[in-house]
Structure 1
Amino acid sequence: MEITDTPTASKVPSRTLTADVGVLVLRVVFGGLLTAAGLQKLLGWFGGPGLTETGAMFEQIGYRPGVFFAGVAGLLEVVGGLLLLLGLFTPLASAIVIGVMINAASATWSAGLFGLGGYQMALLYGTAGAVIACTGAGVLALDQGRPWQRTGPRWAAASILTGVASAVAVLVLKTLM
């Protein structure tokens, strides 16, 4: 006789439920932090610099006009963060995060991975976006069971490639402006 900690009558295996709860925790914390970072840039909330100051910082690192790029980055962080937090349009949300974080990593690359102002946080956030693109939002999400829900390897690849392509487009635009 085999002893397990999962009742045989359970319709959802505990391993799957545990994974879905784990993805929920990741989405809520990560999405919340990303939303807060965007609100720091846009509105100066949570001790952030606000749009004018963030725009000046963006100008210093070559994103001109700075206020435009800062506004786009902040708005994308808010939208992507909220979508991830809710588990809504998850492939799109992941693509947004990946694109923004590639640009953030590019902007902080010269400081190195662990240097002051380095790209470790952008790498971590971008990786989290890619992980969620691969795992999907889980069953505890607004996407779950909806006609628009998209998961699986093709959607994960599309999300990651869209994020990379959008980042490249912004980096090219940055050099042209």
Structure 2
Amino acid sequence: MDTGLLLLRVALAALLLGHAAQKSLGRFRGAGLEGSATMFHALGFRPARPMVVAASLSETAGAALVLLGAATPLGSAIVCGTMVVAAAANADKGLWAHHGGYEVALTYGLIAAALAFTGPGAYSVDAVLGLAAPPFWVGACAVVVGAVAATPLLLRRRALLRRSESAG
């Protein structure tokens, strides 16, 4: 089980780091900061450039914590919250990624949530500190904190989109 949790953490962290690098640095055929800012603006996340930076930093911080298995519930909460925002931005396109949907964000968020409940396993900083097997309530709190942290951003986005629709 510990090897499986390590593999899951490494895979999730690598994908999140790549996703952040696409957004902020233009790596892996990504749009980079300016291209991502244009997309964020169109999606209603304003001011767009700082939002891209915040999203990239959140993905990077969450990925680093998950990868190391350090403060895993916190890392999971960061990833869950970031992925709630990403999923909401693509919800109108449906589930499947080939239509621009939220499939990827949902998958990353669910993996992070699962890690919040299971803990990172024996091959982790948390295990060295005796924190590798969190109680159920810690996992539940991580998921709730992630969702609650996403809420103000989503409410602001909704208000900005409504304002744009009524002005245009």
Pick one of 85, 91, 95 that aligns with 1:103.
Answer: 85
Residue 46 of structure 1 aligns to a residue in which SS? Answer: coil
Structure 2 matches for 1:119-138, cutoff 5 A? Answer: 119-138=102-121
Q: Structure 2 vs 1, CA of residues 39 and 102 (structure 1 numbering), >3 Å: closer, same or farther? A: same
Is 1:173 aligned to residue 152 of structure 2? no
Deviations 1:5-57 (A, max 9, x none): xxxxxxxxxxxxxx111110000011111011111111112221111110110
> Over the residues paired in the alignment, what is the CA RMSD in angstroms?
1.6
Whether the 8 Å contact between 2:122 and 2:132 is mirrored in structure 1 is no
Whether the 8 Å contact between 2:23 and 2:52 is mirrored in structure 1 is yes
* Number of corresponding residues: 159
Name structure 2 gaps, 5 residues minimum: 161-168
TM-score scaled by length of structure 1: 0.84
Whether the 8 Å contact between 1:110 and 1:118 is mirrored in structure 2 is yes
Pick one of 29, 43, 48 that aligns with 2:11.
Answer: 29
d(CA) in 1 for partners of 2:136 and 2:153? 26
Residue 137 of structure 1 aligns to a residue in which SS? Answer: coil
d(CA) in 2 for partners of 1:25 and 1:55? 32
Is 1:39 aligned to residue 7 of structure 2? no
d(CA) in 1 for partners of 2:63 and 2:23? 14
Is 1:81 aligned to residue 87 of structure 2? no
Pick one of 134, 139, 163 that aligns with 1:156.
Answer: 139
Name structure 1 gaps, 5 residues minimum: 1-18
Which amino acid in structure 2 is aligned with residue 25 of structure 1?
Answer: L
Determine the structure 1 residue equivalent to 2:46. Answer: 64
Residue 99 of structure 2 aligns to a residue in which SS? Answer: coil
Determine the structure 1 residue equivalent to 2:166. Answer: none
Whether the 8 Å contact between 1:136 and 1:152 is mirrored in structure 2 is no
Residue 129 of structure 2 aligns to a residue in which SS? Answer: coil
Determine the structure 2 residue equivalent to 1:14. Answer: none
d(CA) in 2 for partners of 1:36 and 1:57? 18
d(CA) in 1 for partners of 2:72 and 2:157? 27
TM-score scaled by length of structure 2: 0.89
Task: Give the deviation of 1:149 after TM superposition.
Answer: 6.1
Determine the structure 1 residue equivalent to 2:101. Answer: 118
d(CA) in 1 for partners of 2:118 and 2:20? 24
Deviations 1:121-167 (A, max 9, x none): 11111100110001001110111131776711121111011001011
Larger Rg: 1
Whether the 8 Å contact between 1:87 and 1:137 is mirrored in structure 2 is yes
Which amino acid in structure 2 is aligned with residue 162 of structure 1?
Answer: V
